[in-house]
Structure 1
Amino acid sequence: METSIEIVVRPTEIDVNGHVNNGKYVDYLEWGREDWYEQHGLDYDTLLGLGAITVTVNLNLNFRKECRQGERLTIVTRPERLGRTSFALRQEIRKADGTIAADAVVTLVTIAPESRTSRPVPAPLADHFTS
């Protein structure tokens, strides 16, 4: 299932070039992923209760259009692919007119909190990739 959140670009997110600093896009994507987890009932405490936490291992981010202060942006997140211990989410940052400002595929690995080693993706999380 796809989720989306809306944000407004704040003055502190603008760089010397007058547009959103590239590092802020990573923050926006993280906010979208956190919302995706929460909307699916998979907040941090729930995952921890399942004996799992997730860590980002790869971020492939394409910058398409600049964003400026005061713009309303929508961060869209949806399942992309599922592996045994990893999964990927596809994300887009869209401008108010629907134009894609940035898109990304973020790969995450599920690890056991105690051992910090990879473990199979828990079924309640994996289920969102097959429905």
Structure 2
Amino acid sequence: MTFRVPLQVRSYELDTLGHVNHAVYHQYGEVARVAGFEAAGCDWNSLVAKGTAPVLLSTTVDFRRELRMGEHFEVSCEIRFGRGKSFHLDSTITKDDGTVSAEISCVLGIMDLDARRLVHDPRGALEAAGFQPEVLAP
């Protein structure tokens, strides 16, 4: 089952057209990422204590349907590891009626805070901090 966070549109998130401002979708994705990592057992303090931290390398949003004041929706969080120093974390914003409002694609890495470079094994670094990837598996 995909990890999801329920949210509701607040008045200050709207633009002059009366729907959610484009930049707020990125914030919704961040809310889901942080909640997802916590649900997967990732101890952020442990990561930082080991001299590492997650970094966002790229993010894109594909807008599908507008969100308006007061609407309830969920933001999913799914992780995909491959080979190399980065990994993918994708989110789908879905209205309560099942309509997809937006799709967010992110590429992240785990930075060695002393060397200011990405670690070679991001999954291993996360798992060493308690991360359970199956919680965010697609």
TM-score (norm 1): 0.89
Deviation at 1:49, TM superposition (A): 3.6
Which residue matches 1:100? Answer: 100
1:73 aligns with 2:73: yes
Indicate the structure whose relative CO is greater, using CA pairs within 8 Å and at least 6 residues apart: 2
For residue 93 of structure 1, give the secondary structure of its aligned residue in structure 2. Answer: strand
- Work out the CA distance in 2 between the residues paired with 1:124 and 1:111: 10
CA contact (8 A) 1:2 1:79 kept: no
Q: What amino acid is aligned across from residue 58 of structure 2 in structure 1?
A: N
Please say if residues 94 and 101 of structure 1, whose CA atoms lie closer than 8 Å, have aligned partners that are also in contact.
yes
Kindly report which structure 2 residues correspond to 1:1-131, keeping only aligned pairs within 5 A, or say none.
2-120=2-120, 121-123=122-124, 125=126, 128=133
For residues 35-80 of structure 1, give each alpha carbon's deviation from its aligned partner in whole angstroms, at most 9, with x where no partner exists.
1110111142132244421111111210000000000010000113
Structure 1 residues 124 and 98, CA, compared in 2 at 3 Å: closer, same or farther? farther
> Are the counterparts in 1 of residues 110 and 125 from structure 2 also a CA contact under 8 Å?
no
* AA at the equivalent of 2:23: G
Q: Is the 8 A contact 1:8 1:72 kept in 2?
A: yes
Question: How many residues were matched structurally?
Answer: 130
Mapped to 2, the partners of 1:49 and 1:41 lie a distance apart of 16
Q: What letter is aligned with 1:114?
A: D
Shift of 1:111: 0.8
- The RMSD of aligned alpha carbons is 1.9
* Comparing 29-38 and 119-128, the one that deviates more: 119-128
Specify every segment of 5 or more residues in structure 2 that has no aligned partner in the other structure, as ranges: none
Q: What is the Cα deviation at residue 124 of structure 1?
A: 5.9
In the TM superposition, what whole-angstrom CA distance separates every residue of 1:9-29 from its partner, at most 9, and x where no partner exists? Answer: 000001100000000000000
Query: Percent same amino acid at aligned positions?
Result: 28
**Aligned residue type for 2:126:** L
Deviation at 1:123?
Answer: 1.8
SS for the counterpart of 1:38 is helix
2: CA distance between counterparts of 1:124 and 1:113? 13
